[in-house]
Structure 1
Amino acid sequence: MKKNLLNQPLFRLLVPSVYGIMMYFLILLINNSLGQLSETVLTNELLLCIVLAYMVAESVRLLIVIFERRVQENLRKTVNIIYLFVGSLVIGSVVTYLIVYGYYREIEEAEYFSTFSSILYKITTIYGINAMFYTLFFLSIHLLSIKNESELKKEDLKRQNLEHQLEIFNNEINPDLLFQSLETLISLVHHNLNSAEDFVDRLALVYRYILDNRKKEVVALEDELRAAKNLVYLFKEKFPDQVTLTIKNEVQTSSKYLVPNTIPMVLDCMINGSIISPWQPMNIIIDCAGEDDYVVVQHKGNDKLSNNKYIKNRFQNLHETFAFFTDKPVIQIKAYGDVFIKMPILEINDNL
Structure 2
Amino acid sequence: MKTLFIHKPLFRLLSPLFSGTLVYLLILLINNTIDELGDNFFGQELYVCIGLAYLIQEYVRVSIVIFKRLKRPSSFFVKTILQIISTIFINIALVSVAMYLYFTNVLYYTPNSNELLVFNSIFSVIALIYILLYVSHQFLYMVNTEKLEKEEWARLEVEEDFTDFKRGINPELLFESLEAILVVMKGNPDKAEQITDSFAMVYRYLLSKKKDELVPISEELKILKELLQLFSELPHRKIQLGKIAVDESMVVPGSLLRIAEKVMRTTIPSEVKKMAIDILESENELAIQYKHEERIGKSLKTNSLNYIQRDYRYYAPEPVKVVHGDVFKTIYLPKLYLE
8 Å contact 1:296–1:340 — kept in the other structure?
yes
- 1:120 is aligned to 114
Deviations 1:79-105 (A, max 9, x none): 325655665666578668867999xxx
Q: 1:74 to 1:140 in 2, by over 3 A?
A: closer
Match of 2:248 among 247, 251, 262: 251
8 Å contact 1:298–1:340 — kept in the other structure?
yes
Q: 1:343 to 1:146 in 2, by over 3 A?
A: farther
8 Å contact 1:287–1:296 — kept in the other structure?
yes
- Among the aligned pairs, what percent are the same residue? 19
8 Å contact 2:255–2:308 — kept in the other structure?
no
SS of alignment partner, residue 157 of structure 2? helix
Could you tell me the TM-score, scaled by structure 2's length? 0.50
Are residue 339 (structure 1) and residue 329 (structure 2) matched? yes
CA distance in 2: counterparts of 1:220 and 1:99, whole angstroms:
77
Deviations 1:240-265 (A, max 9, x none): 99511666655343xx7x5x744422
State the number of aligned residues.
Answer: 247
Are residue 300 (structure 1) and residue 291 (structure 2) matched? yes
Using the TM superposition, give the Cα deviation of residue 272 of structure 1 relative to its aligned residue in structure 2, in angstroms.
2.9
CA distance in 2: counterparts of 1:95 and 1:249, whole angstroms:
88
Unaligned segments of structure 1, at least 5 residues:
1-72, 103-116, 347-352
- TM alignment of 1:53-132, pairs within 5 A: 77-80=8-11, 83-84=14-15, 118-132=112-126
Match of 1:274 among 255, 267, 279: 267
CA distance in 1: counterparts of 2:232 and 2:151, whole angstroms:
44
8 Å contact 1:89–1:132 — kept in the other structure?
no
Unaligned segments of structure 2, at least 5 residues:
34-110
Using the TM superposition, give the Cα deviation of residue 269 of structure 1 relative to its aligned residue in structure 2, in angstroms.
1.6
8 Å contact 2:198–2:229 — kept in the other structure?
no
- Structure with the greater relative contact order (CA < 8 A, sep ≥ 6): 1 or 2? 1
Q: 1:323 to 1:126 in 2, by over 3 A?
A: farther
CA distance in 2: counterparts of 1:131 and 1:329, whole angstroms:
59
CA distance in 2: counterparts of 1:249 and 1:92, whole angstroms:
85
8 Å contact 2:228–2:240 — kept in the other structure?
yes
CA distance in 2: counterparts of 1:325 and 1:86, whole angstroms:
61
- TM alignment of 1:1-352, pairs within 5 A: 77-80=8-11, 83-84=14-15, 118-145=112-139, 147-148=141-142, 151-152=145-146, 155-156=149-150, 158-172=152-166, 173-182=169-178, 183=180, 193=190, 200-212=196-208, 219-222=212-215, 226-227=219-220, 229-236=222-229, 239=232, 242-244=239-241, 251-253=248-250, 258=252, 261-275=254-268, 280-285=274-279, 290=284, 297-305=288-296, 307=298, 315=304, 318=307, 331-341=321-331
8 Å contact 2:313–2:319 — kept in the other structure?
no
Deviations 1:70-125 (A, max 9, x none): xxx956624325655665666578668867999xxxxxxxxxxxxxx722212123
- 1:55 is aligned to none
Using the TM superposition, give the Cα deviation of residue 271 of structure 1 relative to its aligned residue in structure 2, in angstroms.
1.9
Using the TM superposition, give the Cα deviation of residue 202 of structure 1 relative to its aligned residue in structure 2, in angstroms.
3.9
Two-structure CA RMSD over aligned residues (Å):
5.3
Could you tell me the TM-score, scaled by structure 1's length? 0.49
Q: 1:97 to 1:144 in 2, by over 3 A?
A: same
2:114 is aligned with what amino acid?
Answer: L
Deviations 1:209-250 (A, max 9, x none): 444566x6xx42317874564143232365499511666655
CA distance in 1: counterparts of 2:145 and 2:185, whole angstroms:
58
8 Å contact 2:240–2:277 — kept in the other structure?
yes
- 2:46 is aligned to none
